[in-house]
Amino acid sequence: MTAAAATEDRLLLALANASDIGNTAEVSRLLDAGAPYGKAPLIRASKNGHVGIVRMLLDRGASVDATDDYRTTALLWATKHGYVDIVRMLLDRGASVDATDDHGRTALMWASCCGRVEIVRMLLDRGASVDATDINGVNAVTISSCRECQTLLRGAERLPRWHRRHSLATWGHAANKLRG
């Protein structure tokens, strides 16, 4: 390995670590010093809820659909952990709404499984597939952990993808009635 490659590797590792712990000043310094953003920094920042760092990395050109060793994207991690602002930002920046991890799970499946109602609504609004199944044949409705998510998903199943965006308010109202 050349000295330049070793330096680049050290910068990338330092950037990933700073992104992981939420050290915005260090992330900014490393990016200004020419650190490559690779895939790990965005994924780590998304996984740990560091909105400012996610924004900074995306503004500098980090790939919104980069994956880790488990084929998990920043969107999937942010969804699992319930970071609504990061999910919204990633979707606004063009993240693939139906990207899957190494088990074939989508963000909608994770949001449904974790009871993340606001994220379920957001993903459906962006056209997420309700019919997608993981490697075990499970879909978002089957894996859902809360009644409100199930109501939204079952309503969306009956709607063509293009029509979901305009009908979510109706299904959200029905889910609110169930909550009582």
Domains in the chain: boundaries: 1-63, 73-180
pLDDT tens-place values along the chain, 180 residues long: 677 666 788 999 999 999 999 999 999 999 999 998 888 999 999 999 999 999 999 999 999 999 999 999 999 999 999 999 999 999 999 999 999 999 999 999 999 999 999 999 999 999 999 999 999 999 999 999 889 999 999 888 765 554 444 455 555 555 555 555
Using only the alpha carbons of the chain, give its radius of gyration.
18
CA distances (Å), origin 15, targets 9, 24, 26, 30:
10, 10, 8, 6
Q: Same CATH topology for 1-63 and 73-180? A: yes
Q: Which residue has the tokens 């998304």?
A: 46
CATH class of 73-180: mainly alpha
Structure pTM? 0.84
Which amino acid is located at 75 in the chain? L
Q: Is 134 exposed, middle or buried (0-12, 13-18, 19+ CB in 10 A)?
A: middle
Contacts of 43 (CB under 8 A, 6+ apart): 66, 67, 68, 72, 73, 74, 77
Fold topology of 1-63: 1.25.40
